Structure 1
Amino acid sequence: MTLAARRLGRANHQVALLQGTLEFFPALIAAMDLAQSDIQLETYIFDCTGSGADVARALVRAALRGLRVHLVVDGFGTAQLPPAWRALFARCGVRLQVYSPMGRLGLLLPKRWRRLHRKLCVVDGRLLFCGGINILDDFYDPNHGTLAAPRLDFAVRVQGSLVQQASETMEQLWWNLRAGQDMRQRRLGLALADWRAARAARFKQRHAEQASRGMRAALLLRDNLRHRSRIERSYRRAIARARHEIIIANAYFIPGAKLRRALQHAAGRGVRVQLLLQGRYEYFMQYHAARPVYGALLAAGVEIYEYAPSFLHAKVAVIDAQGARPWATVGSSNLDPLSLLLAREANVMVRDADFARQLRARLLAAMQQPGQRLNPLHYADRPWQQRLLDRLAFGLMRAALWLSGNRY
């Protein structure tokens, strides 16, 4: 297989788009309730309010049936699970690990800025869920309480050969965290080798039975070792190849210079570039630091739409959905320095016309109905107080990156 073919992934996948927890949680819970051997789940936020408790109960039911259930949560995103749920997980056999607990100094230490931001779940080594949706009810926010409208966010359900890659990646992280608890490395290595051999045998048997072709898809991972810029490079390649249309929906949009130039060049060669971005104030840094980059994009002809009915949490894109080379991605990675330089992220990239058109239709609906297009004249005339806050946030972000040893 050529390098280009490997980048695209094999054409043996089935990928289904899921919007919000109203679609994602029922599909996830149904898969967990049908699981026969093991469940691996990683998430940035695990919140047991509202429908989040339904997912927690599904994990408990699986563990009580004797399944191997591994749960990894981020130590900042999930600061503390309620004691009652922790006790229930421990009693029923849901094995929990916390990625990079904050400690006394918390985010004062730059090394604590490297977070587990990906949202992955593998069931029985045959089914993968990946996207931007946390285990968090779409009508609830830990900082803002009950929401009048649901978050806008997406995930995918995937069958095919990339599921094994996701499973092995998650298993490796699990054992690395166990090793960090002063367990003996030799025993951990043997246990991981045994698990890999068993999983590979089951995976080979399952896929020998699946002869039909499907969609072409790939799993794009970002970490701080081997895959530092894979997701960003994938975006830049797809933007450079765009011929007709680029639609990006991103919650925290602060692209670096290379990505900004790619979008400007695309608009300059006649590609219609539409960005659906956060229009509702959520966090000071992410909200204000994004706005200084709008001017150059608007001047290049990029259309910016702000989504305000609720929080926009999506990290998706679709390019040339109606052309000869459709490209789409759904995942956890924002186009900002935290995601692209510091966090562990995971995106699924899909080359399939039907999938791309479905995602495009949902994004266009969000832009045309509740979204509001940003007028370049209004942007240029925004009050000086807002300009000051924008510049302050942008400067603080750049200073923080300098402290972490990164340039963006």
Structure 2
Amino acid sequence: MVRGTEFSDDHRVHLLQGAEELFPALIEAMDAALSDIQFETYIFDFTGSGAAVAEALIRAAQRGVRTQLVVDGVGTGALPEAWAARLQAAGVQYSVYSPLGPLGLLLPHRWRRLHRKLCVVDGRLLFCGGINVLDDFHDPNHGTLDAPRFDFAVRATGSLVAAASDTMEQLWWRMQAVRDARQRRLPEALQALRAASKARHAADPATDSGPPMRAALVLRDNVRNRSRIEKAYRRAIGTARHEIIIANAYFMPGGKLRRALVMAARRGVRVRLLLQGRYEYFMQYHAARPVYGALLAAGVEIYEYAPSFLHAKVAVIDAQGDRPWATVGSSNLDPLSLLLAREANVVVEDGAFATDLRQRLVHAMQHAGRRMDPARYAGRPLRQRVLDRIAFGLMRLALWVTGNRY
């Protein structure tokens, strides 16, 4: 069984903002890799700085490092032919998680995606967060961006690295087993499943500088870890005393999470949400807005990020109190992430880390966020309210089709 949600005090966790900070650290780690690189991402785009990450994978594979790359069948799909040929020639092993097939997303089981962004190098260094392999100034649907995408990741060492390595190794071998079984290579499939059950990586002692931190990896999947990320949020919100700040790209929390935020605000906790202000996708933009009313009425402050696309999935609670809590990961607070996708968040209980994240979020709210006025929200145009309700209804219908309640 993959270990997860096990807090220990032997970690060093460093916050990284945007691809501008993540990619150089990632490439440096790959160039220093000695034995293996495990890499999972929802989107792998080879435009701009994304190509530099691909080049680092190729260099590692060429010098004999075992290099495994898993991309999602919706987020990435088939790799570009030229890059696929280069990766294969270098020895990079890559696999596509849940390719869509001829019926695409018409089949509800295809809505279960690989949304986590994880990289483990040599079983001792972890990168985890919300940042895809995607240039900060490039969007596949909207082209060149005027300002960088707002997102975060962490670089971490310590015992949580083993949990990340375990879950990635198990998924890799299970995917190989499914492939072999479909090709009727049953002996190879059985061997892959046995390898998955035995796969383990021992994490080396933390090597980053600074005092050790208390942290854990929190996973979400559709087997053992169906609700761990949401429960981690609800526990932290329920014990908040002073302040809650959440930055989330696609924000459509279920009833329990909404009530937790409302109750926190009513007991005097300052609750601030930094949410997507630019239109990106119809469903995610409009389906979120019907839930704002109850939050605003309870005194929750909502800020919409406007300069570029907000893609962060982070939160910080009581950063300056005696029980600081922060999380950085891939999970949105919406039904796609909390009910269907494979997700991974790192939770850190450390004052210095929480304060660093808090300062960046407060700066974004003050300098790049537009605070939502409750009166203007209540008086928004009829057309917008109709679109909001249509999107909200479609989202609920989709959940009903999958058999989930939210």
TM value normalised by structure 2: 0.95
Shift of residue 358 of structure 1?
0.2
* Counterpart check, 1:185 vs 2:189: yes
Alignment correspondent of 2:270: 272
Shift of residue 57 of structure 1?
0.2
Alignment correspondent of 2:90: 92
Alignment correspondent of 1:159: 157
Alignment correspondent of 2:18: 20
Shift of residue 55 of structure 1?
0.1
Structure 2, unpaired ranges of 5+: none
Structure 1, unpaired ranges of 5+: 1-5
CA distance in 1, matches of 2:324, 2:381: 40
Deviations 1:163-211 (A, max 9, x none): 0110010000000000011242332245446653xx34xx4xx33999x
- AA at the equivalent of 1:167: S
CA distance in 2, matches of 1:326, 1:80: 42
Deviations 1:89-134 (A, max 9, x none): 1111000010000000000000000000000000000000000000
* Counterpart check, 1:338 vs 2:336: yes
Alignment correspondent of 2:28: 30
Deviations 1:51-86 (A, max 9, x none): 000000000000000000000000000022110000
- AA at the equivalent of 1:234: A
Alignment correspondent of 2:361: 363
8 Å contact from structure 1 (residues 8, 351) kept in 2: no
CA distance in 2, matches of 1:187, 1:280: 48
CA distance in 1, matches of 2:205, 2:150: 34
8 Å contact from structure 1 (residues 40, 121) kept in 2: yes
CA distance in 1, matches of 2:206, 2:379: 62
CA distance in 1, matches of 2:198, 2:399: 41
1:293 maps to which of 291, 294, 298: 291
- AA at the equivalent of 1:143: N
2:253 maps to which of 252, 255, 260: 255
Alpha-carbon spacing, 1:399–1:358, altered in 2? closer, same or farther (3 Å): same
Alignment correspondent of 1:393: 391
Alignment correspondent of 2:72: 74
Alpha-carbon spacing, 1:222–1:194, altered in 2? closer, same or farther (3 Å): closer
Alignment correspondent of 2:375: 377
Alignment correspondent of 1:110: 108
Shift of residue 14 of structure 1?
0.2
Alpha-carbon spacing, 1:81–1:365, altered in 2? closer, same or farther (3 Å): same
* Counterpart check, 1:60 vs 2:58: yes
Q: How many residues align?
A: 397
- Identity value in percent: 71
Alpha-carbon spacing, 1:297–1:175, altered in 2? closer, same or farther (3 Å): same
Superposition CA RMSD, Å: 1.6
- AA at the equivalent of 2:192: L
- AA at the equivalent of 1:60: I
| Within-5 A mapping of 1:127-276 | 127-182=125-180, 183=185, 184-192=188-196, 195-196=199-200, 199-200=201-202, 203=203, 206-207=204-205, 214-276=212-274
CA distance in 2, matches of 1:42, 1:230: 20
Deviations 1:359-384 (A, max 9, x none): 00000000000101000010011000
Alpha-carbon spacing, 1:385–1:358, altered in 2? closer, same or farther (3 Å): same
8 Å contact from structure 2 (residues 18, 151) kept in 1: yes
